[in-house]
Amino acid sequence: LSDDVIEEILKYSSSYSTLLSTILVAKPISRVYQTHPKSILYSLYYHVLGPTFPQALELYRRRVCLEQMDDHALFPNVLNDPPIIMTAYERRSIQHTEGIVTELENLFSFRHVDRTSVVSQLDSQESCRFRRAVYRIMLYNCEFHLN
């Protein structure tokens, strides 16, 4: 297989552990990963966490920045930071936040769309809009929280 095909296969791994297992299978696969680690990881996270991964990553980074700086420091623009190689703690934190957003989406769908289903009945576009709105509210709350 060509390197481009291997890269696309790696980008659509079902989880981070699957990606690591695949990389360890053969040297050519490992070489492709070493050549393009950021694009492969970004695609993997986008695929696993969904289309709101950039918002989830921004929320996580803003929370970390707020924890590490004093009240009078200028807030850095975390969106300009290059993504991606994340620690296991960062992945778990983002997945935890994503779980909370999923629960909120299920609750919204139950209350306003279909009371017979406990899982979200929103279509993909509605789901993406809802999740982005929740992340916006979380970001707002992160920056302008009440003490």
Please tell me whether residues 57 and 80 are part of one structural domain: yes
Which residues span the domain enclosing 87? 50-143
Which band of pLDDT confidence, cut at 50, 70 and 90, is reported for residue 30? very high
Average pLDDT, the chain: 85
Against a cut of 0.85, is the pTM above it? no
pLDDT in tens, 102-127: 999 999 999 988 888 888 888 989 99
pLDDT of residue 74: 53
Please tell me whether residues 19 and 60 are part of one structural domain: no
pLDDT of residue 65: 84
- The DSSP annotation for 24-91 comes to TT-HHHHHHHHHSHHHHHHHHHHHHH-TTHHHHHHHHHHHHHHHHS-TTSPPP-GGGSPP----HHHH
pLDDT in tens, 31-74: 999 999 888 988 888 887 788 888 888 898 888 888 887 554 55
Amino acid identity at 93: S
Which two tokens mark 8?
């696309």
Please tell me whether residues 9 and 56 are part of one structural domain: no
Number of domains in the chain: 2
